[in-house]
Amino acid sequence: MPYLVFMGCCLIWGSTFLAIRVGNEAVPPVWAATIRLVLAAPLLTLLVLATRQRFPRGPALRGALLFGIFNFGVNMSLLYWGERVVPSGIAAVLYATVPLSTALIAAGMRVERLVASKVAAAIVAIVGVAIIFAGELKLDVPLEGLIAIFLAATAASLSSVFLKRTPQPSAIAANAVGAAAGAIVCAAVSLVIGEDHSLPSTLAGWGPIVYLTLAGSLGAYVLYTWLVQHWPVTNASMVGVVVPVLAVILGAVAKQEQRSAESYLGAAVVLVAVIVALRPWAGTRYAGGPAVAK
Q: What is the pLDDT of residues 219-273, one digit of tens each?
A: 887 787 677 667 765 566 677 778 888 888 888 888 887 778 888 898 888 888 8
Closest CA to 79 of 13, 141, 145: 145
What is the band of 10 on the pLDDT scale with cuts at 50, 70, 90?
Answer: confident
**If pLDDT is split at 50, 70 and 90, which confidence band does 125 have?**
confident
| In the chain, % of residues over pLDDT 90 | 43
d(CA 64, CA 41): 13
Please enumerate in sequence order all residues whose Cβ is within 8 A of that of 98, keeping only pairs 6 or more positions apart, or say none: 153, 156, 157, 160, 240, 290, 291
**11/243 Cα distance (integer angstroms):** 7
Predicted confidence band at 65 (pLDDT cuts at 50, 70, 90)? very high
- pLDDT for residue 281: 47
> pLDDT confidence of 278, banded at 50, 70, 90?
low
Among the listed residues 98, 104, 102, 128, the one whose alpha carbon sits nearest the alpha carbon of residue 116: 104
What is the rounded distance in angstroms from the CA atom of residue 178 to the CA atom of residue 264? 34
Which pTM does this prediction carry? 0.86
Task: Average the pLDDT over each of 13-27, 107-121, 172-186 and give the range with the smallest value.
Answer: 107-121
